[in-house]
Amino acid sequence: MSNSPRSVAAVVLAAVLLAVSCGFAAATAPTTSSHQRLASLKRRHEPVYDQVTSLADKPQGVTSDDVHASLFSHKRNLLTGDTAIDARRTASVPTGAQQRSAQNEQPQRRQRRAAASDDRCGSKSDDVALDASKISVATHSFPSDATEISFLWVGQPRGEIVALVTRELQRQEPNVYCSSDYGRNYTLCPGIKWPVVELHRVETLDAIWVYALPSPSESQYFSKDDYRKSAGFYLSTDNGRTFTFKPLDMHMHRILPNPTNAHEMLGFVPDDDHSDYEVDDLYHLSEYGSEQAQLLRISEHVFYADWAQENAAGNDDDVLMTVYRAEPGEVVPLDLVRMHRPGTRDAKTSMLRKNCYDFEQAAEFLFATEVPSSDGFDERRLFVSKDNGDTFTAAVFPFDARHNHFKIVDATEGVVFALVQHTLTRTEGDTFVFRVDSPPEIAGNFSATKGLFTPALTGNVLSGTLFIEKQNPLGCSDRGGVSPEAKGRIAVVQRGECKFTEKTLNAQAAGAIGIVIVNDADTLDFRMAGEEGLELDIPAFMVQKSTGATLEDTFDKNGVDIIASLIEDNIQEQEIMQTSNLFVSDASGIDFTLSLQDVAYLPYFSSTGTEVADVHKVASQPGTYLATWLKNDRMETVITFNKGASWSHIPPPHGARCEDDDEAACQLHIALDAARAIMDLPLPMSTPTASGIILANGFAGESMTFASSEANLYLSSDGGLTWSLAAETPHEYQILDHGGVLVAVPYFQTTDSILYSVDRGTTDWETKKIAREDTILQMTAETGGGTLVVYAYYYDIEWRGAAVDFEPLLGRPCSTAYLGTANADYEIFSPGVPVSSGSDQRCLLGQQHKFLRRIACRICFNGLDHEPKYEAAEDQGTTICKCTAADFACAPGFTRKSDLSATSPCEYDKAYKKEIACSGRKEFEDVRNYAKVVGDVCSGGEEETYQQTTSVECSNPGADTSMAVVSVVVVIAFLVIFITVILYKSPSLRERVSGYVPCFRSRSTVSFSQLTNTNINDDLMDSDDEMLIGTGDATAQA
């Protein structure tokens, strides 16, 4: 087993090799890999606790290199090419004791760092010794046989927390513990009798509702009688203080409360008859106040379901789900369905999209991914809706390659960040040809592709007589397979209904020497693939639809044998490549622009089916995102401050050393999703109320390595513009008191203390002992970042938890008085990028934001109710900035082709497929190269510079639409005047016409509503009187 680290390019190549060997999983119908994807999708429904841990999850001494090697041991052994990095992979991770020894036990008096910025401490500095003994630590011990423990904060920000304990010997005993004082004390939650496996919380107007689901497994916990009695769920309507059992007629294996209406939820019960396809029966649960909750099955064969997001249309009680169209099977398509008001008499089901592989909700958008064909090999398309599925529009991506997978990264800032995985087939020197040798009238070469799952041709050519399957044109098993008449011939079948491998196996079983599959379109933009391990001995080729039609017409008309040859050359040079790019939309969410090419995105990662998407939103600063860029076979971190309009590298922290690397190329690389998947490192942390604060593990050097021992903890207090080294080795971290307190513990390294900073890292971090001896510490805290309490937990003979309260250390609440003076507790912080070199003014998205932030060296706390946004009466908290290059993005259809910077020109991309309509009799239209970043409010400055246009060929050249419209209007006006004059001069004719045209009757007898009340509803309703909605292929169902 090799332990050598890889660059991200190795990860991508490994994923490509895996995709090819597994039958191109990114574009196949459900296979083993797609079943893993199903499980991955379903995990989005599971409750996200603050932490679930087990000592068995990551044994002490297992390094990230071991994890990486185990994932990629069967791939090609690719080194980084950097001998220094390859040598450093053997570096051992220091223990907590070694680390503290190196730090000389951290001095109690805070030492100001040389690189620290001036935080306006002035003459009134609080840079004095802190008494760590003031930090309150309250410890609680959990049952001695507990093996795993997880926590759910339920009453925030009031300190209510629920602990879910898994015992070594599972038995029929309660396992849920409640605390109302931040975990200082726990008791068994009142009212819970049965062991629980799942917790949920829903916030109502006046309380937090908590749901607890008992174990659905009879053999694990219960006798048969007790198992029957435990069917149901526990409900707390008082922040988890007391629970009441609500019985049901059956056990739910998973529940999903309505996030906007706590009085109803969805229940999932696996369909055991189709366990290979992760299929559920879906139930609606309501009326919790009665003795027994109402339970109603609303759908079967459900692949994925979710409550519709709340929007202006009031659809928050609707359910969206993808459902198998028929009995679940390998090639049975999924459809996106919406159910309005499930569980009521008004319930209605509507088909939104057919062949819907997946859907996702983000902000005001609903996204649906479609695969047009049942076998899953067509290019996937992304459709966007802003009205909860009533209408969809196809997203437009300017990239000339097949789209395999879509990942919506973020849609919270008025634009959509979407990762797209593409497939590129390199054919340099490679040839796949279907050649007709006779009869002469159709002889010649036709385009073809060859299945990845079939063997190479002996001598690169296979010739024979074609057998066009008529009895079973599709060649599928359920229709009889391929006729025995194909023996000794090359079978010709149509695409559809079953997998390519099934058709090929059937042809082989019939004795055919090869098979030609006719596509259902005149395209060949993919390679056929299938499962591994099949004993396939005959080649499978695919030809275009028109080629198949030519063969059939010739055979039907002439009845002569068709002799053909399958040809392949230079197969060793054939290469299938995958690339993933980041696109950013305009305000519509439909037109996308290429933001960053070659981003780390793997829809399938290793055998676990884990998805890796290396784009991360910084919550503490608008418009700011981190991404992993694949460049020259290396993994590099880039950052954007303008919603992806431009990107830049992160300069190294002050004093950072890039060992054996070119100092000019030394940069900081942040551990994002790929590092979490490979090295199990935490993602960066930031919160909206801690302006500019980011905590992250990272690597200083030319690129990221895959050795976790190389990672250190870094801190940025200005939204990612500059960084400082917070601690050596990787750490887990929490942000408390709206950024006033930062806490960290070594990540899966033994220690007895936590690290903390109360001055944003301006001075060295200090330590507070928590455990009796070295152990692995982990942490959790209430979300929102306002609390002053962090909850640390660890295993020391038994599981223990410690509530660590920093309020006694900081002593007093900060005051907003004396702002701008030497006695002030707060300063005004403006995040963003300097408008020019050496300038103090910082702008972000065209404006200077202003936040109240505690002066780093002041010893006081912000408190839960702290409002960081500064809105002084005289300026409302913002100042409009003059426009610079950073305020403009490439308009749809344009991209930066030279580099990532904002000064790189935007050039037209011919891969942009949206039609450009022209006015008048023009063949070209002037289209703007640039567009102001969505949400950017800059004014003046360089705004005129970015009005540049490019002449683009029209999609309707020569059409004089304006003159046509004028002509039609003139003709209609003339006819109206002519008819009016005739009727006016002829009373008898007017009387006769009035009998047929209501408009000419007396005005007193005809209302506007009568004139407009036509019978169009009869045309829009189906037999069940339900209006048809959606696009042309949408239907309505009862």
* pLDDT in the model for residue 276: 75
* pLDDT in the model for residue 1025: 27
* pLDDT in the model for residue 1038: 30
Higher pLDDT, 4 or 826: 826
Q: Is residue 572's pLDDT more than 80?
A: no
Residue 501 lies in a domain: yes
Residue 752 lies in a domain: yes
Per-residue pLDDT tens digits for 628-668? 998 877 889 999 999 999 999 999 887 676 755 566 678 99
Residues 6+ apart with CB under 8 A from 847: 878, 879, 880, 881, 937, 938
Higher pLDDT, 825 or 869: 825
User: Does 528 lie in the same domain as 437?
Assistant: yes
User: Does 554 lie in the same domain as 478?
Assistant: yes
d(CA 226, CA 223): 5
Residue 180 lies in a domain: no
User: Does 681 lie in the same domain as 630?
Assistant: yes
* Other Cβ atoms within 10 Å of 966 Cβ, number: 11
Per-residue pLDDT tens digits for 850-868? 899 999 989 999 998 888 8
User: Does 734 lie in the same domain as 703?
Assistant: yes
For residue 176, give the nearest of 159, 205, 200, 206 by alpha carbon. Answer: 200
- Identify the band that residue 808 occupies on the pLDDT scale cut at 50, 70 and 90: very high
User: Does 896 lie in the same domain as 877?
Assistant: no
| DSSP percent split of the chain into helix, strand, coil, nearest 5 | 20, 35, 45
pLDDT above 90 as % of the chain: 38
User: Does 866 lie in the same domain as 910?
Assistant: no
**Helical ranges in 473-632 per DSSP H:** 500-509, 545-558
Residue 191 lies in a domain: no
Per-residue pLDDT tens digits for 286-318? 887 667 788 899 999 999 999 998 764 556 689
Q: Is residue 799's pLDDT more than 50?
A: yes
- Identify the band that residue 172 occupies on the pLDDT scale cut at 50, 70 and 90: confident
Structure tokens that stand for 794 in this block: 């660890």
Last-in-domain residue among 512, 545, 573: 573
d(CA 139, CA 75): 47
Exposed, middle or buried by CB within 10 Å (0-12, 13-18, 19+), for 996? Answer: exposed
Per-residue pLDDT tens digits for 462-507? 999 999 999 999 999 888 899 999 999 999 999 988 889 999 999 9
- Identify the band that residue 230 occupies on the pLDDT scale cut at 50, 70 and 90: confident
Structure tokens that stand for 3 in this block: 């332990």
Residue pair 883/938 in contact by the 8 Å Cβ criterion: yes
Residue 225 lies in a domain: no
* pLDDT in the model for residue 541: 94
Residue matched to tokens 């344009």: 894
Q: Phi and psi of 755, rounded to 5°? A: -95, 145
* pLDDT in the model for residue 984: 55
Q: What is the CATH number of the domain that holds 854?
A: 2.10.70
Per-residue pLDDT tens digits for 351-385? 999 988 889 999 899 999 988 765 555 678 999 99
| Average pLDDT across the chain, whole number | 76
Residues 6+ apart with CB under 8 A from 683: 616, 671, 672, 673, 676, 696
* pLDDT in the model for residue 896: 85
* pLDDT in the model for residue 173: 81
Poorest-pLDDT segment among 57-61, 365-369, 470-474, 900-904:
57-61
User: Does 3 lie in the same domain as 138?
Assistant: yes
Arithmetic mean of pLDDT, 546-557: 91
Q: Is residue 7's pLDDT more than 50?
A: no
Residues 6+ apart with CB under 8 A from 836: none
Q: Is residue 92's pLDDT more than 80?
A: no
**One-letter identity of residue 655:** G
1007 in helix, strand or coil? Answer: coil
Per-residue pLDDT tens digits for 125-144? 454 568 899 999 999 999 88
For residue 745, give the nearest of 36, 96, 196 by alpha carbon. Answer: 96
* pLDDT in the model for residue 988: 55
Range of the domain at 733: 1-34+63-112+128-142+619-811
Arithmetic mean of pLDDT, 321-326: 90
Q: Partners of 754 in the beta sheet?
A: 768
- Identify the band that residue 589 occupies on the pLDDT scale cut at 50, 70 and 90: very high
- Identify the band that residue 573 occupies on the pLDDT scale cut at 50, 70 and 90: very low
Residue pair 281/271 in contact by the 8 Å Cβ criterion: yes
Residue 226 lies in a domain: no
* pLDDT in the model for residue 659: 59
Last-in-domain residue among 932, 953, 974: 953
* pLDDT in the model for residue 1005: 28
- Identify the band that residue 429 occupies on the pLDDT scale cut at 50, 70 and 90: very low
* pLDDT in the model for residue 374: 54
User: Does 761 lie in the same domain as 647?
Assistant: yes
Q: What distances in angstroms separate CA 455 from CA 23, 435, 550, 559, 583, one per listed residue?
A: 14, 19, 27, 32, 38
Arithmetic mean of pLDDT, 542-559: 91
Higher pLDDT, 159 or 314: 159
Exposed, middle or buried by CB within 10 Å (0-12, 13-18, 19+), for 910? Answer: exposed
For residue 214, give the nearest of 193, 189, 197, 229 by alpha carbon. Answer: 197
* pLDDT in the model for residue 126: 54
Q: Is residue 439's pLDDT more than 50?
A: yes
Q: Phi and psi of 9, rounded to 5°? A: -60, -35
User: Does 648 lie in the same domain as 518?
Assistant: no
Q: Highest-confidence range of 27-41, 301-315, 870-884, by mean pLDDT?
A: 301-315
* Other Cβ atoms within 10 Å of 991 Cβ, number: 11
The greatest distance separating any two alpha carbons of the chain, rounded to the nearest whole angstrom, comes to 112
Arithmetic mean of pLDDT, 816-842: 85
* pLDDT in the model for residue 565: 92
Q: Is residue 28's pLDDT more than 90?
A: no
Q: Is residue 1033's pLDDT more than 50?
A: no
Q: Partners of 110 in the beta sheet?
A: none
Q: Partners of 800 in the beta sheet?
A: 141, 794
Q: What is the CATH number of the domain that holds 521?
A: 3.50.30.30
- Angle (CA) 109 115 120, round 5°: 75
Number of domains in the chain: 4
Residue 511 lies in a domain: yes
Arithmetic mean of pLDDT, 165-179: 81
* Other Cβ atoms within 10 Å of 199 Cβ, number: 21
35 in helix, strand or coil? Answer: helix
User: Does 836 lie in the same domain as 793?
Assistant: no
Q: Is residue 58's pLDDT more than 80?
A: no
d(CA 833, CA 853): 18
Chain centroid to Cα 575, Å, comes to: 28
- Identify the band that residue 611 occupies on the pLDDT scale cut at 50, 70 and 90: confident
Q: Strands, DSSP E only, in 168-253?
A: 176-179, 187-188, 196-203, 208-214, 232-236, 244-247
Arithmetic mean of pLDDT, 906-922: 68
Q: Is residue 50's pLDDT more than 60?
A: no
User: Does 901 lie in the same domain as 856?
Assistant: no
Residue 404 lies in a domain: no
418 in helix, strand or coil? Answer: strand
557 in helix, strand or coil? Answer: helix
Q: Is residue 239's pLDDT more than 50?
A: yes
Last-in-domain residue among 938, 953, 968: 953
Residue pair 333/355 in contact by the 8 Å Cβ criterion: yes
Higher pLDDT, 942 or 38: 942
pLDDT above 70 as % of the chain: 71
Q: What is the CATH number of the domain that holds 916?
A: 3.30.60.270
User: Does 137 lie in the same domain as 71?
Assistant: yes
d(CA 703, CA 83): 13
Poorest-pLDDT segment among 510-524, 783-797, 971-985, 1011-1025:
1011-1025
* pLDDT in the model for residue 532: 61
